Structure 1
Amino acid sequence: MKINRLQTFLLWSLMGVQVLNLSGCQSDSGGEETSSSIAVTSSAPATTTTVTATSYTWQLPPGFPTPLVPEDNPMSEKKVKLGRQLFYDTRISANNTFSCGTCHQSAKGFSDGKVTPNGSTGDVHPRNSMGLANVAYNSVFNWANPNLKTLAAQALVPMFGESPIELNWSGHEEEILDRFRYDAVYRDLFVQAFPDSAEPITDMNVAKAIAAFVSTFISGNSAADKASYQGDTTAMSESAKRGRELFFSERLECFHCHGGFNFSQSTTHDKSVFTEIEFHNNGLYNIDGSGAYPLDNHGLWEFTFKPEDMGRFRAPTLRNIELTAPYMHDGSIATLEEVIDHYARGGRLISSGPLAGDGAKNPFKSEFIVGFMITAAEKTDLINFLKSLTDWEFICDERFSDPFGNQLPPPHCLQ
């Protein structure tokens, strides 16, 4: 009996063995695929620089592995509590107008619904706000930075970044920290979160607390999870089940970039044998037929300057994808229907204007973006599968809500 990739995926899931590398980009012979879409920047064992926390109790969905925790930022309930306050407090920006939660709203899967966000001073960011579900499992962060390998390091980017300015800490660091130093509640929260620090209220500890809080954003109770991991055969509609078959088929190739339990290949955890980091060019642009991407959105090329890395970006998780529109690294595709059309064509055609070009002919495009035929009914099934990845238990979890009450829960959470 021939077992397809979907059956293998479900079988290993039910056995409690994680499938991070199961549907990775490998050849039929079992060797590593020499794909032009992949840039593996680290093949070291996943545990060389990180360890799992033993003093913190994770609330993990059934079948999920334990996230890795940096040695210099162990998890604690006190740190998570502080991080939640900081994440939603607008005093974390120089002008008291923006918080992390401004661009990462629970109702939108911890994205913001904009094509690209603006920072606290009005600077427009060139990249779309990513959802934050399961970031604790990421092996790298942001859309195309191979060097950001911890959440605390990532948090420093919106804090201190100057192009674009987001929270605007550069030149305002002491001013912002003083807001927390002279707040009795925050002084106590920092001391409890960092009891061994002589000076607990620092920029690095702000980043570490936010990282600890965001690490708890674990989503794994969607209808698809309940069907795959929890034995609930009625959790998914028949249409979604057909869409699942399409998603894991060689015809559509979706799973090559969005595989494993987190539907993203750049994932690591306590069961990982090695750290996997991947970036892909999906044929979104091909300016003047040269393979170029728009200014400020060159992807991995911005770090390597290798021609073949032009337009390569990390494939994010597809969890809660129906809530995180618009899509792609620059938010340039509005709906899931249009996303499927893009991949069905094998790349996007822009007929006129400064970005004109046929992405299907991009010389650096991933070999997995080849196009496919899909009927209207199949398209509906595929979208229903993607919607089955929405985890309302996660979205409505009060542990992740705004403690200041500025962000209301989505209507679905009030039903």
Structure 2
Amino acid sequence: MRRVFLLLLSTIVVLTTACSPKPTPFVWDIPEGFPAPNVPADNPMTMEKVALGEKLFNDVSLSVNQQQSCASCHMKAFAFAEPKKVSVGTTGDQLARNSMALVNIAYNGSFTWAHDSLGIVENQILIPLFNEAPIEMGVSGHEEEILARLDAYSSEFKAVFGSSEPNFDFIIKALASYVRSLTSFNSDFDRYAYYNDDDALNASELRGMELFFSEKLECFHCHGGFNFTQSSKHAFQKLDLVSFHNTGLYNEDEKGSYANGDQGLADITMNDAHRGKFRAPTLRNIELTAPYMHDGSVATLSEVIEIYAAGGRGKGVNNPLKSPFVRGFDITEQEKTDLINFLESLTDESFVKD
């Protein structure tokens, strides 16, 4: 009898294993020959995990008062940024910084406007979820209440992680997988540069591209590589590039301090030489992500170019900590138009619509 029972039990185990669906490997939507994005070994990409992450990203249940989701500050129509100077948390706390676009962050070497040691996006996600000053999603102290709401996803958690009981490790891994999946390589520039369509850029855009990569304007020194930011990390990039730059926006004390108490990278490193250093964001879909700069204090691309042409803004022109690449340049109205047209050629309409 005992032998029969063991045989039945082993059959059940075999059948259960056979019936358990295997995860579907995620297929990256990137140009042929591009390096694979960076993915932690303990959080492999699967289609099911990305789908769960997308649901969580758009669910207000993840905020303490059920008033905001991740998508409230990272809106798809604006390349997962938002058209506000600075973001506002779910309880009304105003943040110090502009919401960054989520474009090709699977290639990021650093995260947020000014942090050099987060390493992976999983670590960055902890900040909006658990930050207490200012409150963003307001999870701290309300973990059990929020997890109870997510029982609605028990079958998805079971399929993806093998347990129907939600926890924040699962939540963060699913969210990270979703935002990693947000790749954008279908702009007119991409068709010209990577898909051999010589007609994808018009004459003005080509002139603007030449200006962008010229030593006269120096744009590419901070916004280089296929992701148009030095804050990149992938197999083709052998060197760690400078991700953070002081662009001369402010000089409050004539010694390099920035406004509103936000000293950028220096607030993390405690190194005064890092005051006013912020990460150069990707320029992909930059047309959609206004207002610009870390504090959203610049309204248009035209104004951005004027600031760089002047070598900074106001007293920031003489900021002693300013990047040597922000030295100013002469530019005609036609050249400015050409440069803006090139920057707009980096817009990927399918990224915000599909």
Query: Which residue number corresponds to residue 36 of structure 2?
Result: 66
The equivalent residue for 1:171 is 141
> Does 2:160 match 1:193?
yes
Match of 2:180 in 1: 215
The Cα shift of 1:272 comes to: 3.1
AA aligned to 1:298 is: Q
- 1:210/1:77 CA distance change after superposition, 3 Å: same
> What pairs with 1:216-255 in structure 2 (closer than 5 Å)?
216-255=181-220
1:387 aligned to 309, 328, 344, which one? 344
Equivalence map 1:271-286=2 (5 Å) = 271-276=236-241, 278-286=243-251
Which AA in structure 2 matches 1:372? F
CA contact (8 A) 1:92 1:176 kept: yes
Query: Which of 226, 232, 235 in structure 2 is aligned with 1:270?
Result: 235
Q: What is the deviation of 1:156?
A: 1.1
State the distance in 1 between where 2:146 and 2:309 align: 48
Answering whether residue 307 of structure 2 is matched by residue 342 of structure 1, we say yes
Deviation of 1:276 (Å): 3.8
Is 1:369 the counterpart of 2:339 in the alignment?
no
Give the Å deviation of 1:92: 0.7
Matched residue SS, 1:210: helix
The correspondence for 1:134, drawn from 101, 104, 121, is: 104
Structural mapping, 1:113-124, within 5 Å: 113-124=83-94
Q: Any idea what SS the aligned residue of 1:80 has?
A: helix
More helix by share: 2
Using the TM superposition, give the Cα deviation of residue 74 of structure 1 relative to its aligned residue in structure 2, in angstroms.
1.1
Aligned-residue offset at 1:273: 2.4
Are 2:259 and 1:294 equivalent residues in the alignment? Answer: yes
Match of 2:316 among 345, 359, 373: 359
Tell me, in whole angstroms, the C-alpha distance in 2 between the residues paired with 1:272 and 1:70.
18
Q: Does the 8 A contact of 1:93 with 1:99 survive in 2?
A: yes
Q: Deviation string for 1:2-22 (max 9, x for gaps)?
A: xxxxxxxxxxxxxxxxxxxxx
Q: Could you tell me the TM-score, scaled by structure 2's length?
A: 0.91
Three-state SS of the structure 2 residue aligned to 1:79 is helix
Partner of 2:9: none
Q: Which residue of 1 aligns with 2:15?
A: none
CA shift, 1:56, in A, is 3.3
How far residue 274 of structure 1 moved from its aligned partner, in angstroms, is: 4.3
SS in 1 for 2:279: coil
The answer on whether the counterparts of 1:139 and 1:277 sit within 8 Å (CA) in structure 2 is: no
Higher relative contact order (CA 8 A, sep 6+): 1
Task: Give the Cα separation in 2 of the matches to 1:277 and 1:203.
Answer: 33
Q: Which runs of 5+ in 1 are unaligned?
A: 1-53, 350-357, 398-415
2:157 maps to amino acid: F
Is residue 299–residue 309 contact of structure 1 (8 Å, CA) maintained in 2?
A: yes
Q: Cα distance, 1:58 vs. partner? A: 1.7
Distance 1:61 1:109 in 2: 19
CA distance in 1, matches of 2:144, 2:242: 36
**DSSP-derived class of the 1:233 partner:** coil
CA RMSD of aligned residues (A): 1.4
State the SS of the aligned residue for 1:331: coil
| Cα separation, partners in 2 of 1:390 and 1:79, compared to 1, 3 Å | same
Cα distance in 2 between the residues matched to 1:273 and 1:376: 38
Code of the residue aligned with 2:154 in structure 1: it is R
Greater CA drift, 274-283 or 362-371:
274-283
Q: Gaps spanning 5+ residues in structure 2: where?
A: 1-23
One-letter code aligned to 1:87 = F
Contact 2:132 2:140 in 1 (8 A): yes
Structure 1 counterpart of 2:125: 155
Q: Which whole-Å CA distance do the structure 1 matches of 2:82 and 2:171 have between them?
A: 22
Task: State the shift of 1:63 in Å.
Answer: 4.4
Give the structure 1 partner of residue 18 of structure 2.
none
Any idea what SS the aligned residue of 1:295 has?
helix
Q: 3-state SS of the aligned residue for 1:69? A: coil
Across the two proteins, how many residue pairs are aligned to each other?
Answer: 331
Structure 1 partner of 2:5: none
